[in-house]
Amino acid sequence: MEVYKNISIKNKLILIQLITSFIAVLICCILFVFNDIKTFNNSMVENKNSIAEIVGVNAIAPLLFNDKDAALQILTNLKSNPSILNAAIFDKDGAKFAQYDVNKTPFLFPPPGDDEVEDADFIDQKFMVVYQIMKDGEFIGTVMLRSKIVAFNEILINYVKVASSVLLGALLIAFIFSAFFQQKITKRIQFLMNKTKEITSTGNYSNRVLIKEMDEIGVLSKEFNNMLDQIQKMQNSLKDANADLEERVKERTAKLERSNQELEQFAYVASHDLQEPLRTISNFVGLLEKKYPKGGEEDYYRYFQFIMKATSRMQNLIRDLLEISRVGRNVQFAEVDCNKIILDLMAEMEISITENDATVHFSDLPTLIASEIELKRVFQNLISNALKFKNKNGTPRITIRAQENDNEFIFMVEDNGIGIRPEHNNKIFNIFQRLHSNTEYPGTGIGLATCKKIVALHNGNIWIESTYEVGTTFYFSISKHITSSINLAT
Amino acid sequence: MKKINCILLVDDNPADNEFHKIIINDSDVCNNVKIATTGNKALEYIIKSGNSEAEFPKPDLIFLDINMPGMNGFEFLDEYHSLDSKLKSKIVIIMLSTSLNPDDAERARKIKEVTDFMNKPLMVDTLKSTIEKYF
Amino acid sequence: MVFGKKISILFLLTLLTGIVCAQAQTEAEELNLKAAFIYNFTRFIEWDDDIFPNEFVIGIIGSSKIDEPLEEIAQSHKAGNKEIKIKRYSSLEEVEKCNILFISKTAKISLSDVLAKGDLKKTLVIGEKENYAQWGAGINFVIVDKKLKFEVNKKSLSDAGLKVSSQLLKLAIIVD
């Protein structure tokens, strides 16, 4: 069955037609043969019946006149009919009157009137006919003839031979015929098949199929064309939708960018312009504070302390806001040697590093395209955090490493500080997000947010791995592919 | 403690000027404090100060604010540059900024007339150490 | 000795009786057979309808015992569609027209006289004496090999206007 499944339609059709023809012809042959045999048998029987009749008629006189010799003479004449083996005449009482046997061995005829014997009984390729002799309505006697079916086997073999050759001939003709005519159908199916293959491989949906005849294949072709129409329509509307979408995305992006820029501008300007009045407050409150020293009149000192502290905090917030909103305003990308950056930082932060008894290690940092000032800022923030959030017991140890991948550089800044609990992982990169109060650790919570913004500027990501009270490793990636909106410094 | 004769404050912000005046007086590093609220007025004063009039002492030190309406600090310096060298001699110019804009610092560094670049507000100790440093 | 003679005479008598009886029996059988044959002749011979349109007459000359079986046959059979009548004649003068005239061997007449009788021109004359057929009788019964056969004189038959079936002739002994 597996084999049948995969043979071509053309061959299937031919096969079906051959089988059909074969079956049809076979049935015909069988019916024909059977019919012929029956006819043959019938004719034989008729023939023998006629002979029996003739014998019977001729035996009337001998029977009536009791002339057994004459009767025997009649039977003996049957010698001329070689297919007759035995013949017998019985008188009206059923007694044997005369018998003839071709090969001298007398055959035991069943007594006439015995119901076992029917006319034309076929036993063992011999058959018997029985004829009742009547004259003028009077029963005179019975004739029985036993003859062989002449060359039955030969005739049968002959039939089989003829039937076989007819079958073969019919098959041959059927084959030729079907092979020729199945083409008309399978060609069209093949054409359709090839067309489909072609279209799916080239993706060219503009192809159409010619329709000549309107049978099932014609309908299939027509619907095929319709399907292609639909596909093309869908393609086009998809293209249009896509284009439309692209347009809208462009618009939105432009809008967002504009909006973003406005916001940044706003933040910058606001923080910048906020600084000045704040500074004035700070300045003069400071002067006033001097006028009311501690222990002096009323609580003015304490009041001024609160004002000063608040002002100071606000100044810091504004300063930091201004700083973070500065990121990305005038970015210049160039080749940057990270090793040099770290060295510079270590020099700039020397005092702080020494004060905290800290060590900074770095090795084999890459040179890449980045914004130097900003990248330096990232390292600065991370290092200063590591120093600030040091472990009470140990000395801060900071290790900086880098790894190059296909599309990016990944930097790792590892410290042995107080660590960060996993539930805070996402919060720490938010603006002004703090995990501790100002009394525990100073700061506005802008450092990591600034890092995140700078890293995003470089198409990268920043994330951490940390164990509380053991240490933290900050990871950040700098992409090798810079988006076109950034200026590249020569 | 060194003491100089005259400090010229070039700043349009009266609060800042008031404050700086107090600081300067408190630090006792200078005899006269003069104030110019615009770049133009500053230029005028400097020119006038060349006349050696007692009312208009020549400034030894100029604290120059960057962000001023009309003519900002840098624009003033452009004009100042074309002043007579006699007028400019021995004048220390320190630029003051409200924000730590690195671009401003860079730019200031490039101008030869500018000696230093500092953040507002001036405080007594920074003022004293500046005087020490440059005088 | 006398006893012995008596026995042998008795024996002989018995034997004779037996023989006679047997003979009588055989004779009866022969008559039956002849009667059957006569009837069967009617089935294979065609007479002119002139003689008797409604009857078929079989005449017997002589005191033959054949009349009994013939009567029996006549009662249960027809010749064609005619009833069979059996007539006995003791002399030639008594003889009328008939389809068949059976001359018993005991009849004291001569065949030629019978044949000369004008009434009997269309009659089938059947005899049972030797040479009757050669002498002109249409059919003559003979015993051949202990079997009853019949001789046939075709000329006589055709002269009498009788059409005889070939089937019958096949079984007959043709004498002319």
Name the band, by pLDDT with cuts 50, 70 and 90, for residue B57: very high
Check CB contact under 8 Å for B121 and A279: yes
**Which stretches of chain A drop beneath a pLDDT of 70?**
1, 113-125, 150-152, 297, 483-490
The answer to whether residue B1 is domain-embedded is no
- What confidence score (pLDDT) does residue A316 get? 87
Tokens of A404: 């190059």
Portion of chain C with pLDDT greater than 90, in percent? 17
Q: Which of C32, C37, C43 to mutate to test the interface with A (most CBs of A within 10 A)?
A: C43
Contacts of B13 in chain A (CB under 8 A): 276, 280
The answer to whether residue B93 is domain-embedded is yes
Check CB contact under 8 Å for A276 and B22: no
- What confidence score (pLDDT) does residue C23 get? 64
Radius of gyration of chain B (CA): 14
Distance from C-alpha of B54 to C-alpha of A478, rounded to nearest angstrom: 63
| Contacts for C8 with CB less than 8 Å, ≥ 6 apart | none
- What confidence score (pLDDT) does residue A272 get? 78
Contacts of A373 in chain B (CB under 8 A): 102
Chains B and A touch (3+ CB pairs under 8 A): yes
Check CB contact under 8 Å for A58 and C40: no
Closest residue by Cα to residue C138 from C149, C128, C148, C126: C126
For A48, A134, A145, the CA distances from A117, given in Å and listed in that order, are: 15, 19, 12
- Does ipTM exceed 0.90? no
Nearest to B99 among A284, A322, A330 (CB): A322
Check CB contact under 8 Å for A279 and B120: yes
Nearest to A283 among B19, B101, B103 (CB): B19
Check CB contact under 8 Å for A136 and C43: yes
CA angle C34, C39, C41 (to 5 degrees): 90
Of B51 and A112, the one with more pLDDT = B51
Residue range C41-71, pLDDT digits in tens: 999 998 877 778 888 899 898 888 888 888 9
Q: What's the whole-model pTM score?
A: 0.45
CA angle A340, A343, A346 (to 5 degrees): 150
Contacts of A67 in chain C (CB under 8 A): 149, 171
Distance from CA of B126 to the nearest CA of A (A): 15
- Which CATH number fits the domain that encloses residue B81? 3.40.50.2300
Nearest to B19 among A284, A319, A323 (CB): A284
- Which CATH number fits the domain that encloses residue C129? 3.40.50
- What confidence score (pLDDT) does residue B21 get? 93
Hey, how many other C-beta atoms are within 10 angstroms of the C-beta on A295?
Answer: 6
Distance from C-alpha of A390 to C-alpha of A376, rounded to nearest angstrom: 21
Distance from CA of C143 to the nearest CA of A (A): 12
Tokens of A392: 């009470």
CATH number of A2-167: 3.30.450.20
Distance from CA of B79 to the nearest CA of A (A): 26
Distance from CA of A272 to the nearest CA of B (A): 7
Where b means 16+ CB within 10 Å and e means fewer, A430-468 reads eeeebeeeeeeeebbbbbbbbbbbbbebbbbebebebee
Contacts of B103 in chain A (CB under 8 A): 330
Helix H or strand E encompassing A161: helix A152-202
Residue range C78-132, pLDDT digits in tens: 888 888 889 898 888 888 888 889 998 888 888 888 888 777 788 889 998 888 8
The answer to whether residue B51 is domain-embedded is yes
The arithmetic mean of pLDDT across residues C14-33, rounded, is 73
Contacts of A137 in chain C (CB under 8 A): none
- What confidence score (pLDDT) does residue A335 get? 92
Residue range A347-375, pLDDT digits in tens: 999 999 998 899 999 988 999 999 998 99
Give the residue from chain A lying closest to C35, CA to CA: A65
**Alpha-helix runs per DSSP H in C45-81:** 67-76
Return the CATH architecture of domain A331-479.
2-Layer Sandwich (3.30)
| B94 bridge partner residues | B63, B116
Give the residue from chain A lying closest to B103, CA to CA: A330
Closest residue by Cα to residue C102 from C117, C89, C93, C121: C89
Check CB contact under 8 Å for A284 and B15: yes
Distance from CA of A311 to the nearest CA of B (A): 14
Break chain A into its structural domains and give their ranges.
Answer: 2-167, 331-479
Question: Total domain count for chain C?
Answer: 1
- What confidence score (pLDDT) does residue A490 get? 38
Tokens of A385: 């955090």
Nearest to C171 among A67, A135, A136 (CB): A67
Distance from C-alpha of A435 to C-alpha of A423, rounded to nearest angstrom: 11
Numbered residues of chain C with Cβ closer than 8 Å to any chain A Cβ: 33, 36-37, 40, 43-44, 147-150, 165, 167-168, 170-171
Distance from CA of A276 to the nearest CA of B (A): 7
Tokens of A380: 């600065």
CA angle A107, A111, A117 (to 5 degrees): 85
Distance from C-alpha of C23 to C-alpha of B81, rounded to nearest angstrom: 197
Distance from CA of C89 to the nearest CA of A (A): 27
Contacts of A58 in chain C (CB under 8 A): 167
Q: Which of A65, A72, A92 to mutate to test the interface with C (most CBs of C within 10 A)?
A: A65
Residue type, A221: S
Residue range C159-168, pLDDT digits in tens: 888 899 998 9
The domain in which residue B116 lies consists of 8-134
Name the DSSP letter for residue A109: P
Chains C and A touch (3+ CB pairs under 8 A): yes
Distance from C-alpha of C94 to C-alpha of C78, rounded to nearest angstrom: 25
Distance from CA of A123 to the nearest CA of C (A): 34
The domain in which residue C6 lies consists of 2-174
Check CB contact under 8 Å for A66 and C168: no
Question: Total domain count for chain B?
Answer: 1
